[in-house]
Structures are given as C-alpha cells and as structure tokens.
Structure 1
Amino acid sequence: MPNRLRASFGALGLIWMLSGCASAGGAQPAVELTSRPERTEAAPDSEPRPGILVMAHGGGAEWNGRVEDAVRPLRDRIPVSLALGMANPETMQAALDALADEGVNTVAVVRLFVSGASFLHSTEYLLGLRPDPPERAMVGHRMVSGTELDPLATGSRILLEMEGLGGSGEAARILVDRAATAGVTPAESGVLLLAHGMGDEGEDRRVIRSMEDAALALRDGGYAEVHVGTLREDWASAREEAEERMKALVAGMGERHRHVLVIPYRVSGFGPYADVLEGLEYVATEGFLPHPLITDWIAAKAAARFCATGLVSALGPCTPAAGGRAPSPVRARPGNPEPAPRQLSTRR
C-alpha cells in the first residue's frame, strides 16, 4: 500500500494498519493493509505518564504464555502491553492503543529479542523514529516490501531500547542456573551454547561475541569445555555449514567428557536443535524463559529509558545501578518464585 501523508495538528504523520498476527508457531491468516483513524498528539506540556511496550517474537501457546508470565509482575507497578510478532504492525498498534487507553503518553519500548539488531529497522520506521522504510519486512509470516508500510498511529512519546537480551548480566546468570540444575558434574561436562544466529555476517559475529560472557561464567564455574555457536537458522546456505560444525562440536565433547550440555541461547524453547543433533547424546536445558530475571531485565531496560529523559517511574529511582545512566542511546520521538526447570532429556 503506498504511503499517504496526512496532516495532524500541523505535523506530518504516516498512519497505517495491518490485519494479521505474527507467531513462530502455526499457520498465519492472510494480512490486508487498511487505513486506520489518526490518534491525537499529546500536548507538549502534558504530564508524562509512563508505560512499557514489550516486543517479543511470539510462538505457540506455551511460548507466548511464558512471555506473558514474565511481564505480569510489572503490571502491578506500571501499565504494560505486549506486542508479539516479528515487529508485527498490527500487534504493535494494538499494544500502543491499549497503553493509550490506560492514559499512557510516554512509552518505553523493550524488545525481548536475543539480538538488538532483530527487526530494528522495521521497528524504528513503524514507531516514526526514522524516515526510511526497510527494504523488506515481515508481516505475519509473509515478507513484504517496506514501501507497503506506514508508521503507526500514536500520540505518545516513544523511547526505544536498542539492546537485546544477549550479552546482558541477566542472560549469563540464567544460563549458569540452567547448567547448575542439569544434574551433571561440571568438571566432567562439556557445554555448547547454541543461538538462532543472524543472516548478516557482521551481525552474527556480534551475537557470538554477546554469548561470551555466559561462556566465561560457565568456564569459571568449572565446566571442562564451553563453546558458543549459531545455527543461522533462516539462511539455508549458511545453515548447512553451521549444522555440521555444531554436530561435530557435540560429538567431539561426547568423546572427551562424561556429559554434554546443550543450552539454547534463545528466549524460549529448544528450537530445531533436537532435529539437528539427532543421533547424538546430550542433555538439553531450557532457554532464558521461564526465569524471574527476565522480568528484572525488562524493568531495568524500561527504567533506563525513562531515567535517560529525566523521568522517574514506578520502576524505581534513577540511580546508576537502576538505570540512571542509559546503557544505549535513546531513540525518542518528541512530542513469583522461580519456575521449576523443564524435565531435562537426553537426545539420542
């Protein structure tokens, strides 16, 4: 659908809506591009009323439920809305609308992706933070030209967190917990941290570097051997080579050590790794979810966005430890107890 310019309180805005829902599991309905009514821009001198929009990939019912469980504790402190999908315009618009209905006019956008580069261009464009559309974008599970997109309709100030979960202290601590509950002796065990990976070589190298903090923590914990790798899952030419490398790593560690742990460096689930590693013996663990530190990570990232603009939220005071100094640039448009781990399995 071509872009259309509309006037709104003397400012130019692009408005659009998509029907359809992105999810990592199951067939997706066809998506139609339609127009939607404009939202009224908040007055410049409005009192800031903060809220959080959490973006996540989405998947089946269990996958989505784990993300919902992670954000639920925050709703007692601040309005939170969830947008599942790979920067899905429809779910993002619905999340913005839900926050506006709660009186929110300043939105911290926290992206629960391993890589901060995931869907970043589309997200920035849809939120009105950059003028150029992406070359291509995912809508549902359908690839479309970026020229079919228009920015979303919102009168809120948008504060976009640029970093993903990968490389964070929370990520390393969660994976150390996963290894510790796997029922193996560290000195007799090799470990593979395995991530989805990226298509771009530079971005994939950044993902691998972000995994090294967790790998170092595991080495310091006495594990005999720790490796990191990506499967390059959505890029066939790169994936074939990556699969062979990962299988060789697991097989080799299996010859040298009593146990091999395969820990998915993923938001949730084990991904396609069981199929890739079929025939090899290893112990599988959960990814980052479920774990209460994910709730803490979301809260810390949102607090950092608010604090970077001088806004104190219900998430806590603006101290350096609580996000008084933002760890990444702000992209702003003016205006329970820990769950029990999954039953571990040995794949053969």
Structure 2
Amino acid sequence: MAKRIIEDLCSALNIAALLIVGSVTLTPQSVFSQGFSTRASEAIPLVAPAVQGDTGFVVVAPDRGFLGNEEVRDAFRRFSELFRAELAFLPWDGDVARYVRRAVTRLSDRGAGRVVVLPLVVADSHPLLRRLEQSFRDDLADVLMAKSFGKSYLAEEVLIDRLKASALLNPAVRGSGRDGDSEGEKTAIVIVSGGAFGDEEEIRGIEDEVQGLVRPVGSYFDVSETRTVVLRHITGGVDGVQASLEYFKVEVDQLVESHDQVVVVPFYLSQRMDSMMDEVQFLRRQVDGKQVVVLPPGPLPHELVTLWMCQEANRWVPLRKDEVGFVVMPHGSDIDWNESIRESLAELEQDYPLEYAFSMADSEVLRRSVRRLEARGYRGIVVLRVFSMESSFRERIDWLLGLSEMSGNSMGMGLPKRVRSASLFATLGGVEDHPLFARALLDRALEISTRPTEEALFLLGHGTGPGPSNQKWLDNLASIREQINDLGHEFASVHVANWQEDWPALRDLAVAEIRALVDMEIEQGRAVLVVPARIAGTGPEIGELAHLEHVRVGTGFAPHPLFRTWASSQFDAGRRLLMEAVNTATDR
C-alpha cells in the first residue's frame, strides 16, 4: 500500500528520475562519487561483551521501502554478528508492533531472557515510535526501550560528516558563484526531518529534537542561519505532504534571498523504494532551478549507525571488572617529566590495563589510547585526569567522549574531533587537596630540610587567571598547609601562592609578591624550602628562585610512592563508578 501511495504522489508531483541541483543534473550515484560518501576514514573497532548474558536486542526502524530498508539491513548486519539481535521494521499501516512481536519471539527461542529495543529514529517524537510505546504498555510490557539514535552524540557526528562532505561539491553548485572561503560569504543550512502525520504539536516535537542535533553545527562551520523543517508522511494524506513541501519551499526561498549559499540536509529515515522513488527527490523538485545544494539522504548509509547500535547494546549488558581498561591523562612535558609518571605507575600495570594520553585533553592523543584499549578487548574505559584541579579539562574530556554537551575550553581553536566509539566511558581525577598529595609534599619538603623550625616552607602552585578558579587553587594549598601542620611537622612559617604563569601580567605580579616573601624570610635568617605543588617536576621555581642563596627547591608529586597509591585508588573508584552506572541500568 505504501508503495502505491508514493507512486501516486510521484505522479501527482511529476517527480523526475534525475536529481536537479542548481543548474547541474546529477544521478544519485554521481553525487556520492563527488565526495558525499559518509564512510569514516578510520576503522573503528566494534567492541562487544565477552559474555552476552541473557539480553537480546531488537533494532526497530520505520519502513522505508526496499532500498531504504536495505540500507538499514546493511547497518544491522555487522551488529547482529556481535550481539544476539533481530531487526524489525515498523509499518505505517495497521499494527505497528507486528514485526516486533515476531522478533521478540525469535530472540526468546535463541535464549534471550529479556529484550531491549534500540530505536533507529532521529526523534523520539516519531509517531511510529510513539505507537510502539503504546504497544509496550498494552501487550509488550516486558520489553525495554533504549535511547534512540537521535539522542546519541554519534547522530551529531553523522550530521557533521554530511556537512563536511558537502564542501567537496563544485563551488559553482553551492550557490554564490564565488569560492566557499570568500570573505563575508553567508551560508544557511536547512535540516529536513520527516515522518509526521499527526497534528502541529507532533511536528513541533520533532522540530525541537532535531534542532538539538543541529546545535554543534555552528561550532564546526561558518553558518549564519540554521532552520529545521519537518515533512509530513503520506500516511496523513497527500494534502499534508504537499503543504509541508510548500512550507519547505517558502523557507528555502527566504534563505536564498538573504544568503550566498543554502545547503539542504535531509536527516531522517526517508522513504526510498529505489533511487528514483526517493522521498528526498520531492525536496529537489521544490528547489529546481535555484542555487541550492540538496545533500543525499541521511543518516544512512554511515558506519556510525552500526557503532551506535553496539554502544547502546553495551549499556545493557553487565560490565565485568576484567572488561575495564584505563587511560592516564597527565599534562605531559619532556621525556623526563613523562617518564616520572610512567615509572611511578609501571608496577600497577599488572592489575590495571593502562594506556597513556599525555596532553591537555588532545582529541587525537585520547583517541589513540582508547583504540589501543579497545584492541586489547576492553569495552569499559576509565579516563583518569591527572591534573592539579578536578575541573581541569573535565568538560572538554567529557565532551570528547560523548558524555557532555558542553565542549569546554577550545584553547582558541575550533572544536576537536570527538572519539567515536562503542565503548562505555567514565572520567575522574584532579588531586586537589587530597591527603596523599599533602603527605607527599611534606615528604618533598623534608627531603631538602635540615632544621624545620628554622626554615620557611613555600608551597607554590600553577594557578589560573583572575577569579574563583585561582582562589580555589589557593584554598587547596591552604588546606594542604593545614594538613602538614596536623601531621606534626612545624616549620617556622608556611606560605602558599600561585605563579599564574600562563597570564603574563598576573605572572609578573605573582613573581614579585613571591620574591618579596622569600627575601623577607631570608632577611630573618631562615632557609627557604620551595616545594612545587604540582603533579611532577617543577615550574618557575628553578628560574626565579633556585639561584638565590639559602633557597632549596624540591619537586612535585610524582614519582613519589604515594602518587602511585593515589592513582590506584582513583582507578578503583573510576572502575566502580563505571560498573555501578552500567550494572544498575542493566538491572532494569
């Protein structure tokens, strides 16, 4: 029936078999050959549990017609080789759950004690998914529903890939007749979704969800305006489809008038009987003769759809202790600094599978470490942030791993590539004023001390710019000072300060204040012990103070044995955090 309706609509709208984009006519195949392939260049491992347990999965997707359904089957095939899984399409007419019930029965026959549905839709507001949820309440009460594809950061990544691919089109096709990098060129993007056949509230719901996917686009691309249009499905009647296409045309016309370039991105599981009876061709018909680029339909084909299936399925299979690996991420410096960290943790590698990612949350370095752990068979990964402050690079690392919508400090550059992975992640870290850190710094002071009661101790941190974060750093140092006093070691005086070394104007003031305090202590006849309150090594202490008479400079936390103790406690806490999060969810 759906095929007949689409054929009728194609005839009514006189849809051509060729795609017309601006003044250039392209077949679907030639569009892909000009760079629209969305296949990622990197071979991404599809990690899966060693023991499947009793959980089975049903991937559900709207019925798209033969070619569209084949694209879904292609994405599903590799997933089904790794997990106990079935595929069920949601028909537009009649009982929406009829194929799901058959899939559930097959999984039960294959030993599944419980079934989780993975919805391959861009929006939870999709009417077929809403109907399926009603069936769950009526007669599939034991079946569980996972998060949909559209709620995953991987959906955003697919959208970003499609927009990047569009840059490979000939600039003449893109609308302005000028090079795409021309100064002042204004680009608008129209994201098209579909599947609605209900009231306006249903359309607004889909629009709002799709708009959430579009949010990162402005950070990756120079886009002056983004709009979202939701097409109605033929199930709701031809008049509704035509009205939504007219609305799309009006939106595009407005953007063409005010922009040099308009890019239309169909981003939903559109109807695709074959390459000619393709719902996206309706869109192309509306912009025939205009300087507008209509990209091929998405999100399929794209390997990240399969990756999403694996990642979401991993959330529903209990995580074992021996499936968790660890990424150690310190700031990093020269070989001596880096080796002080590695050597400190070397003996822990017997109990904790470790990979290192020395950097300030660099995407490529983190991705490399994740891939190495995945190649070793780990599907749960804990990233230990080995920085002085718990907040240091936390937002950025969480964003890189798909754990947060906040990207953190971009350090003056564009957003980095996120780590595309089927693994499950947790992050933690920051030594702050940890008691082990305080005890280690005391030991560092005693290593260079001869008569504590006649010596002034300086605990000097890196610090930040002006504001609460620098004060938080100072508060931590003050807490460490109190802990040192509580441990019974009485120095003549203990000073705390930050170098604020990455902020030149503040640094000069900090250096002057620290130097004045040091000179004051020396004038009072005291030796000065300088201990860098750092993860490892030293900071400006050597250049600013070490040359002074009566000044002795120590070193930071690593490679003190207590650094290893701190790291192992963090590994245990991170693994426990990740396992509890996954295993609590799997108990649903």
TM-score by length of 2: 0.45
Query: Are residues 46 and 164 of structure 1, via their aligned partners in 2, closer, same or farther at CA, if it must alter by over 3 Å?
Result: same
Partner of 2:541: 273
Per-residue CA shift, 1:259-288, capped at 9, x if unaligned?
A: 110000111112222222265330111111
How far has the Cα of 1:121 moved from its partner? Answer: 2.1
Deviations 1:111-132 (A, max 9, x none): 1111112222211211111123
Given the alignment, which residue of 30, 50, 61 partners 2:324? 50
User: Is contact 2:395–2:407 with CA below 8 Å preserved after alignment?
Assistant: yes
* Structure 2: unaligned runs, 5 residues or longer: 1-37, 41-71, 77-119, 121-148, 161-219, 221-302
The reply on whether 1:287 has 2:553 as its aligned counterpart is: no
- Please state whether the residue corresponding to 2:328 is helix, strand or coil: strand
2:523 is matched by which residue type in structure 1? E
Q: For 1:96-135, what aligned pairs fall within 5 Å after superposition?
A: 96-134=370-408
Q: For residues 1-348 of structure 1, what are the structure 2 equivalents within 5 Å?
A: 10=120, 11=149, 12=152, 13=154, 40=307, 41-42=310-311, 43-44=313-314, 45-48=316-319, 49-134=323-408, 136-137=410-411, 143-145=412-414, 148-161=415-428, 163-219=429-485, 220-277=488-545, 280-281=548-549, 282-310=551-579
Contact 1:56–1:83 (8 Å) recurs in 2: yes
Q: CA deviation at 1:308?
A: 3.3
Question: How far did 1:172 drift?
Answer: 0.4
Structure with bigger helix share is 2
Higher gyration radius (CA)? 2
Q: What is the CA deviation profile of residues 2-61 of structure 1, one whole-angstrom value per residue up to 9, with x for unaligned ones?
A: xx9999874341559xxxxxxxxxxxxxxxx9xxx8583343344421111111111101
Q: Structure 1 residue 331: deviation in Å?
A: 12
Aligned to 1:339: none
CA distance in 1, matches of 2:399, 2:465: 21
* AA matched with 1:295: R
Larger CA deviation: 181-190 vs 57-66: 181-190
- Separation in 1 of the partners of 2:449 and 2:481? 18
Match of 1:325 in 2: none
* Cα drift, residue 310 of structure 1: 5.0
1:199-225, CA deviations, whole angstroms, 9 ceiling, x for partnerless residues?
242111111111123212333401110
Unpaired stretches in structure 1, ≥5 consecutive residues:
17-32, 138-142, 312-329, 336-348
CA distance in structure 2 between the aligned counterparts of 1:296 and 1:47, rounded to whole angstroms: 28
How many pairs are equivalent? Answer: 288
Change in CA separation of 1:135 and 1:168 when aligned onto 2, cut-off 3 Å: closer
**1:75 shift after superposition:** 1.1
Percent identity (aligned): 26
Q: After TM superposition, give the deviation of residue 87 of structure 1 in Å.
A: 0.4
RMSD: 3.0
Say if 1:176 and 1:214, in contact at 8 Å, map to a contact too: no
Distance 1:309 1:54 in 2: 16
After TM superposition, the structure 1 stretch with the greater mean CA deviation from structure 2, 102-111 or 278-287, is 278-287
Q: Distance in 2 between matches of 1:5 and 1:72?
A: 38
From the superposition, tell whether residues 200 and 50 of structure 1 become closer, same or farther in structure 2 (CA, over 3 Å): farther
Contact 2:386/2:535, CA 8 A, preserved across alignment? yes
1:322 is aligned to none
TM-score, length basis structure 1: 0.75
For residues 175 and 76 of structure 1, do their structure 2 counterparts lie closer, same or farther at Cα, with a shift above 3 Å needed? Answer: same
Shift of the 74–144 alpha-carbon distance from structure 1 to 2, 3 Å rule, reads: same
Q: Secondary structure at the match of 2:384?
A: strand
